[in-house]
Structures are given as C-alpha cells and as structure tokens.
Amino acid sequence: MSTGWRELTVLLSELLQPLFAYQCNENADVAVLDIQTNSRRVHPGSLFVAVPGHTVDGHDFAPSAVESGAVALLVERRIPDLTVPQVVVPDTRRAAALLADVLYGHPSHKLRMIGVTGTNGKTTVTHIIAHVLETAGKQTGLLGTVGGRIGAETFPLQNTTPEAVDVHGYLQRMVDAGCSHGVMEVSSHALVERRVAGVDYKIAVFTNLTQDHLDFHKTMEDYAQAKRLLFARLGNLYASTRENNTYAIVNQDDPYRDVMLDATVAQSLTYGCSAGADVRAEHIRLTHNGTMMDVITPCGHMEVTTSLIGRFNVYNVLAAIAVGIVEQIPFDVMREALQSYPGVPGRCERVDAGQPFGIFVDYAHTPDGLENVLTSVREFASGDVITVVGCGGDRDKTKRPLMAAIAMRHSDFAIFTSDNPRTEDEVAILDDMVQGIPPGADHYLRCTDRREAIYAAVGRAKPGDVVVIAGKGHEDYQIIGRTKVHFDDRQEARAAVQARGTTTEQV
Ligand SMILES: CC(=O)N[C@H]1[C@@H](OP(=O)(O)OP(=O)(O)OC[C@H]2O[C@@H](n3ccc(=O)[nH]c3=O)[C@H](O)[C@@H]2O)O[C@H](CO)[C@@H](O)[C@@H]1O[C@H](C)C(=O)N[C@@H](C)C(=O)N[C@H](CCC(=O)O)C(=O)O
Ligand SMILES: Nc1ncnc2c1ncn2[C@@H]1O[C@H](COP(=O)(O)OP(=O)(O)OP(=O)(O)O)[C@@H](O)[C@H]1O
Ligand SMILES: N[C@H](CCC[C@H](N)C(=O)O)C(=O)O
Ligand SMILES: [Mg+2]
C-alpha cells in the first residue's frame, strides 16, 4: 500500500506553519505535491528533505533530487548552486514529521491514537488492543512489526515503526477508511529518530524494558530515555493546548515503571500482578492450551480466559484491558474479545503436523523474551525442551552469549543456528553465542544452516517433548548479506515432521 498519493498541492509556506524557527532563501509560495526523504522517490512537485543518516547524509543527494523534479529542499545546511528554495532548520527529521502532519491534514487528531512501546510484547499488545476495539465495533488501524492493517487491507512494513512521512500518510489512510482508532508499535529507534513527531497520542502503553538494541542505544540508561520520550510528550504536544485527557498505561512490575510515570503529565493507570497495580491479575491458571485469570480493576472485576500461553502474556492481556477501560469498552465485550483472540502469527505459534510432540515457533529474540518463552513451555512440557535459536547479525552483540546461556539453562538440548546474519559472518555470530555456554555443558549443537537445525531438533524429539524454534516468528525470510531469501520456520518445521514420517497422536 502506498502511504498517501495526493492529487492536491499545498503551498510550502503553509506546510511550514508548525515550525518555530527556519530560514528560507527564497519566496516559499511554491506548490508542493508530497514530501520525500529519499531522493530515489522524488518526482516533479516533491519537497525533498535531507536527513543526515547513520550511514549516509541525505544532503549529498539534494542535487539529484532537484534533477528529479524536487521543487524545494528542507535542509540543515544550505547547499550551494541549487536554484530551488531551501528551508534551513536545525533538525530535518523532526521538521519533516511536522510538515507531513500538516500535509495530510493532522490525521492523528482525528483518531484516538494509541502507541505501545517496550522491549517485548509490543506486537502482541497492539494486536490484542485492536481485536478488543474491533469487537466493540470500533474500526481500528494497526501499524507494527508484522505489517499494517487498515480496514480489510493488510500490507507489509519495512520497519516496526515506519518513517515519519509514511506514518502520517498511513494515519490519513486510516481517517479516510473511517477508523476511529489507530494503534501502533513505537520502537525506541523511532522515538530517537522522531518518526512519530507530530502524532497526537491519547494513550501510551509501556510493556517492559530489558536488554536489546545496545548497538544503537549503547547503554540501558539511554535505551530507557528513548522509551521515556513517548511519555514525556503525552498531553504536551502543543504547549498552548495542554490538556490532561491523555493516559499513560504502565507495567507496575517493571523496574523502569517510574522512569515512564515521572516523565508524563498524563493520567496514569498501572497494570501487573503485584498489589499496587490498578489493573491486577489474581488467581492465574497457566495451561498448555491457554490462560485463565481474575482481573481486578478500578471499575470492577472480570474473569478472563485466553488461548495465549505463558505468564508474560498475562501482562500483555492486562495492558490491553487497561486500554479497554480508558476507551470505556464494556467488560462483557472485552471478555468475549479476549476469549476469541486468535493470536499473532509467529508468537508462540503452534505447528501441528500430526506429530506426537509440541512445536512452537516464537519471535523471542532478546534474553528476556527467550527466558520467558522457555520457562513457560517448561511448565507444561511432559518431556524434554529442545530449543533452536540464533542471534541477528548487525545487531546488539552483547545479547548473544546471554541468549545462549538462557537456552542452555532452560533446555534439555539446544541447537544454535543462524538468524538473519545480514553482513556478518554466521560462524562468528555462533562463536559469540557459545561464549555464554557454561564450562563442561555439552547438551548443544552448532549448526549454521537453519533448515538443518530445525530438522535436527524435530528429528530428536520424543513423544511429550516440546521443540521451540525461536527468533524469527512471522518472518518468512533469512537476510544473508543484503539479500532476503525465502525461509519460514513454520514451513520448515512441517516439512521436518513429514520427513520424519510421524503421524501419531499429539501432545
Ligand atoms: C539504524 C536505523 O534506525 N536506520 C533507519 C534510518 O536510516 P538512516 O536515517 O540512518 O538512513 P541512511 O541510509 O543513512 O540515509 C540517510 C538519508 O539519505 C537518504 N538517501 C539515501 C540514499 C539515496 O540514494 N538517497 C537518499 O535520499 C535516505 O532515504 C535517508 O533519508 O531511517 C530509515 C528511515 O526511517 C530507516 O528505514 C532505517 O531503518 C533501518 C532499515 C533499520 O534496519 N532499522 C532498524 C534497526 C529499526 O529501526 N528497528 C526498529 C525496531 C526495533 C525493535 O525491535 O524494537 C523499527 O522500528 O523497525
Ligand atoms: N510481555 C512480554 N514480556 C516478555 N516477553 C514477551 C512479552 N510478550 C512477548 N514476549 C516474547 O517476546 C517475543 C516478541 O513478542 P512481540 O512480537 O509481541 O514483541 P515486540 O515488542 O513487538 O518485538 P519487536 O521489538 O521485535 O517488534 C514473543 O515471541 C515472546 O517470546
Ligand atoms: N526488531 C528486531 C527484530 C529482530 C528479529 C531477529 N530475527 C533478528 O533479525 O535479529 C530488530 O530489528 O532487532
Ligand atoms: Mg513488534
């Protein structure tokens, strides 16, 4: 889906309205058709925004953008010898977002926007929220890791949170499609890169903060500060219209809870399993088929049954219930929605090819995510837990030994393999991982070929065992170098079961 093909033009001077300070070397009454941050997407009528990136500087592509028909430039420093107007601002990423908000007619103000941030659980929580809202008859748009959804249309997204101009474009599509709500994952990268600047959130949700992305943020403190940005701006988007009708929904049991709560002027609602939580789960019953719990809230009590497994999903469900409370969704509708919730592809997704043992494909790609899924599976596995896991290339290297240690601790057998090696050597990634294996431990295999690893795991499983294939979840590709090759853990697991020729009773 393209984000927003507009037939109307708008004057550059109108687009510039939200900027407090800028310099323009020429008359800004030039007609603009769209905003592009990539010179390769520029066409006649575009405003080209030069973004200094992590790998290249967009300013270097301004001449080629002008050649392709850009009618004006948004820059951080003036570029000599170009004839089109140049608007100079201190931060082009932020300015591009604010201009896109104007270009698309402030779509986030016409939706009730819900942003979900945190290390783990964003996709799960956004999908549960969307299901709850839709069960209540509220049309809801969704943006996140497994793609976007607006009405009946679904579309892939390159990033969990798209770049700023696209975000506002998708929100306009939601408004046009008649949505009352927009629910989106807000990654820490997106917050740092101002991809959601100008989005008027009514609700921000914090799931948890554990180690990931230290290649980008360097320290946990910086990572927390990035997440905090979503809460700092709540109810505070435009200082002149500060209103306190916004909500911060925060995991009471997470150590970073107060970093988020202290950052915000919004009203707060906490959730969790400990006594102080406003929305609290009690009497939790975890089974291999799902979870039951009693949920105590400021508005009453609700018994919940869901097919989601594992204690971590109790938190995801509570976060969605807290949003439902703010949105005044009746309890019986929430209860029905949680019971009928079908799950997210690749999140503890059961693969059933008639084998007498369990297979789960899961997206755990952080130490905390892996520990959660493995300890959850351990609670109901009657036999061994066999884990297949790798770590992504060009990503946080410090999580590699930690994830291997967790896989060894919580599995009877672990197979370390490749997960999107990208531009790194897959053998070197495994070398980093196995540093985390305790001396003397030998219940593991190294196998760079992910297909062979899955076949090996399925091949050694006995009735009652559970095979967990972690890290790639819904992904249907393996990124090798800069190329994506088709690869789907679920397909491979099914094929491995067929190759083994097992068709007897299931666990
Ligand atoms: C590290 C990172 O966050 N990179 C993101 C960032 O790229 P960048 O700004 O550094 O881009 P760059 O390649 O240096 O280029 C700079 C500028 O020059 C422009 N350019 C470049 C080449 C050219 O010929 N012409 C041209 O105009 C580019 O369009 C860009 O505007 O901004 C781009 C546009 O928003 C993103 O697509 C890109 O995500 C890359 C693909 C990525 O892999 N990001 C991951 C790490 C990420 O963002 N992940 C999070 C999820 C994390 C989680 O699990 O929580 C996400 O939200 O997806
Ligand atoms: N609340 C949670 N706490 C800890 N781990 C979780 C939680 N929810 C899900 N997980 C684990 O993390 C994995 C990823 O879950 P999910 O896709 O919902 O998270 P995410 O935050 O969207 O991840 P990403 O940052 O990659 O988009 C799951 O497959 C599961 O193993
Ligand atoms: N959003 C996460 C996803 C990681 C998924 C894993 N399969 C990998 O490629 O490392 C990231 O970009 O770090
Ligand atoms: Mg996600």
Mean pLDDT, each 10-residue run in order, the chain (507 residues): 65 90 80 96 97 96 98 96 94 96 96 96 98 98 97 95 98 98 97 96 95 85 92 68 78 96 94 97 92 96 95 97 98 98 93 95 96 93 96 96 98 98 98 97 97 98 96 97 97 96 48
> What residue's CA is closest to ligand 1, atom 17?
58
> What residue's CA is closest to ligand 2, atom 31?
364
Distance CA 122, CA 127 (A): 9
Distance CA 226, CA 204 (A): 14
Closest atom of ligand 2 to CA, residue 120:
21
Residue in 129, 306, 363, 403 to alter for ligand 2 test, most ligand atoms within 8 A of Cβ? 363
How do strand 201-206 and strand 181-185 relate by DSSP bridges?
unpaired
Query: What is the pLDDT, as a whole number, of residue 213?
Result: 84
CA of 159 to the centre of ligand 4 (A): 9
Put residue 331 in one of left, alpha, beta given phi > 0 → left and psi -120 to 50 → alpha: alpha
Distance CA 256, CA 253 (A): 9
Query: What is the pLDDT, as a whole number, of residue 379?
Result: 87
Cβ of residue 355 lying under 6 Å from some atom of ligand 3: no
Ligand nearest to the CA of 56: 1
Answer for the pair 129, 194: CB distance below 8 angstroms, yes or no. Answer: no
The residue type of 419 is D
Specify binding-site residues for ATP.
118-124
Q: Which residues contact 445 (CB under 8 A, 6 or more apart)?
A: 413, 414, 415, 416, 453, 456
> Which residues have CB under 6 Å of ligand 2?
120-124, 145, 160, 185, 207-208, 312, 315-316, 347, 362-364, 368-369, 372-373, 473
Query: What is the pLDDT, as a whole number, of residue 211?
Result: 81
Distance CA 167, CA 184 (A): 10
Distance CA 299, CA 304 (A): 15
Ligand nearest to the CA of 313: 2
Cβ of residue 420 lying under 6 Å from some atom of ligand 3: yes
Closest atom of ligand 2 to CA, residue 473:
29
Closest atom of ligand 2 to CA, residue 185:
22
Closest atom of ligand 2 to CA, residue 348:
29
SS3 state of residue 271 = strand
Ligand nearest to the CA of 189: 1
Residues pairing with 35 in the sheet: 47
Answer for the pair 276, 270: CB distance below 8 angstroms, yes or no. Answer: yes
Give the dihedral sign, CA 8/14/20/23: positive
Q: Which residues contact 310 (CB under 8 A, 6 or more apart)?
A: 286, 291, 348, 372, 373, 376, 377
- What's the whole-model pTM score? 0.94
SS3 state of residue 181 = strand
Specify binding-site residues.
39, 118-124, 159-161, 187, 195, 395, 419-422, 471, 475
Closest by CA position to 387, among listed 449, 465, 334: 465
Distance CA 41, CA 68 (A): 9
Cβ of residue 395 lying under 6 Å from some atom of ligand 3: yes
CA of 482 to the centre of ligand 4 (A): 21
Cβ of residue 419 lying under 6 Å from some atom of ligand 3: yes
Distance CA 19, CA 367 (A): 42
> Which residues have CB under 6 Å of ligand 1?
37-40, 51, 53-56, 58, 61, 158-161, 163, 187-190, 193, 195
